[in-house]
Structure 1
């Protein structure tokens, strides 16, 4: 048994042709790791069903899951606001595609128990447990006792309406948090390392955390998680330690290339959302990024990195990445220091404790 390298990727959407091309910039990194975990943002399906509740994302080509496997991505979290956009057929086909490729998964299933069950993954002779929770809604995508969908932690909307991505989400439901904590404690009994993925936060806004994010991540750590991996915002967030263990509040985009956010398209709801989100979040996408039209600061990216030593000690840090037009992630190279400074700065602006970053091994370690 020796030190294992585990990488953590943010959101993954590959709904344009040539998926291997879009992953090619980071694939040497993800293939070289002992385990790479990403977040599957949309279903990979031929289903044309559209479930109400959020602006529906189109399903990606199910064959593109093969490209994730070829890039060395061995596990994915699935609990997010778009996973049920193509209905139950979309989920079923996605699960089948992951199984076909031997990609472990957590966070969605045909029942709530299946969605809450951990993925148990062998990593150099030790066991990693992955748990995944949707914290932003919409509630229609959440699993029930006998209803397919996502695992979740309910966070109340300030307007008293249902939990949904465009609402101001404030208070964590105590029973829902307790259920997550119970899942973590149970997974801890079967695993040497527990990773908890939380789909959380405020989209498209730099350097801002919702009030519930830090308390929820801390609750996960104190229940037994070794690391928390956040995503959903489509822009990177800061990093902190809770009881000595790392919390990545937002990994940003892992690889997101899609036509679903193009301003000119035949889908009225998506076209309207393209314009509405500019007004809601106050940004204009760079026209050089038609396949990734996010906030201009979202070009600063990272891949979370864990070095898991034989004695159980974890060194945490990240590999800086950059998104080249029209949206492909690549190692940041000469921009690495700039990206690292950005990650440190946005964390401090959001109220996180300052972090010391030590440059090493092509990336940065939390000092």
Structure 2
């Protein structure tokens, strides 16, 4: 904005964005020791939280399940992650109780989260954080959505964008897309920089799904500055659309899991 002498005041701040994270190790505080200097150099750090941290619940049947000890939060704290996308296809593997308990754990430890809530209003509420005079906004959504995991006015869950098959004429639920666009338009005036993350795509595939591109382009058209993808567990392509970068998948940043991903 113009200063007294008519110059432009530039706000400078650095955001580090990483891929999927799942910490499950004896010494969680040491998880990011080899990249600590890189993380510490940033003003703000954001990534995708795959699973709940709780002792509650029972595993879902018919899928790979993830859940970890609440002590694992020490790794995210030591890594300096102030905001996490807690919107994934594993965040409710053990049911609603550990999902809600994880949100409470994050709140007690001062870690903001996006894409998850005790109801749909909370799940669609952006995480907003200011660093270096820059107000950052974060919105997160799940396209790879297990049945019944979408939040409702009376039920905890994630912010959904429902879809049909991964390939072949794409159908992205119009009502969910309109809600996402409304979230972006409502958040845009409140922040200087707006990030939208999506849990989407085909695991272990570098081929984009048509739903990924449809959601990413809609987010940019609505006013998002950067789009980030989680879930495929490998790197996918980067697109610059209307001058805004879309990172379709950032791969795994840390995934302590005994199933190959």
TM-score by length of 2: 0.91
**Correspondence 1:141 to 2:165:** no
Name the SS for the 1:156 alignment partner.
Answer: coil
1:105 aligns with 2:113: yes
**What are the Cα deviations for residues 278-315 of structure 1, in whole angstroms up to 9, with x where unaligned?**
xxxxxxxxxxxxxxx33xxxxxxxxxxxxxxxxxxxxx
Structure 2 counterpart SS, 1:139: coil
TM-score w.r.t. length of structure 1: 0.66
Q: SS of the residue aligned with 2:88?
A: coil
- Tell me, in whole angstroms, the C-alpha distance in 2 between the residues paired with 1:199 and 1:168: 19
- Corresponding residue of 1:180: 180
Name the counterpart of 2:171: 171
Residue of structure 1 equivalent to 2:33 = 24
Q: Does structure 2 conserve the Cα–Cα contact (< 8 Å) formed by 1:49 and 1:87?
A: yes
Deviations 1:106-165 (A, max 9, x none): 11111011111100111212211100000111122111111111001111237xxxxxxx
Q: Is the 8 A contact 2:229 2:247 kept in 1?
A: yes
Deviation of 1:31 (Å):
2.1
CA deviation after TM superposition for structure 1 residue 42, in Å: 0.5
The count of residues paired between Structure 1 and Structure 2 equals 252
Q: How does 1:1-367 map to 2 (within 5 A)?
A: 2-52=11-61, 55-157=63-165, 170-205=170-205, 207-259=206-258, 261=259, 293-294=260-261
Q: Deviations over 1:1-40 (max 9, x none)?
A: 6421111111110122212333222222122211110100
Kept in 2: contact 1:155–1:169 (CA 8 A): no
Structure 1 distance, partners of 2:158, 2:91, is: 8
Q: Distance in 2 between matches of 1:192 and 1:89?
A: 35
- Following superposition, the deviation at residue 56 of structure 1 comes to 4.5
Deviations 1:238-280, CA, capped at 9 Å, x for gaps: 1111110111000111111123x1xxxxxxxxxxxxxxxxxxx
SS in 2 for 1:201: coil
Instruction: Identify if the C-alpha distance between structure 1 residues 112 and 168 changes in structure 2 by more than 3 Å, giving closer, same or farther.
Output: farther
Partner of 1:273: none
Can you give the 5+ residue segments of structure 2 that lack an aligned partner in the other structure? 1-9
Q: Cα–Cα, structure 1 residues 125 and 25, in superposed 2: closer, same or farther, change >3 Å? A: same
- Give 1:168 deviation, angstroms: 7.6
- Superposed CA RMSD: 1.7
8 Å Cα contact 1:136/1:200 also seen in 2? yes
Tell me the secondary structure at the aligned position of residue 101 of structure 2: helix
Residue 68 of structure 2 aligns to a residue whose secondary structure is coil
1:169 deviates by: 8.8
Q: Secondary structure at the match of 2:20?
A: strand
Aligned equivalents of 1:194 and 1:2: distance in 2? 15
CA change 1:204–1:118 in 2 (3 A) is same
CA change 1:56–1:47 in 2 (3 A) is farther
> In structure 2, do the counterparts of structure 1 residues 256 and 169 end up closer, same or farther at CA, with 3 Å as the change threshold?
farther
| Shift of residue 186, structure 1, vs aligned partner | 0.6
Partners of 1:107 and 1:189 in 2: CA distance = 19
Instruction: Give the conservation status (yes or no) of the 8 Å contact 1:16–1:258.
Output: no
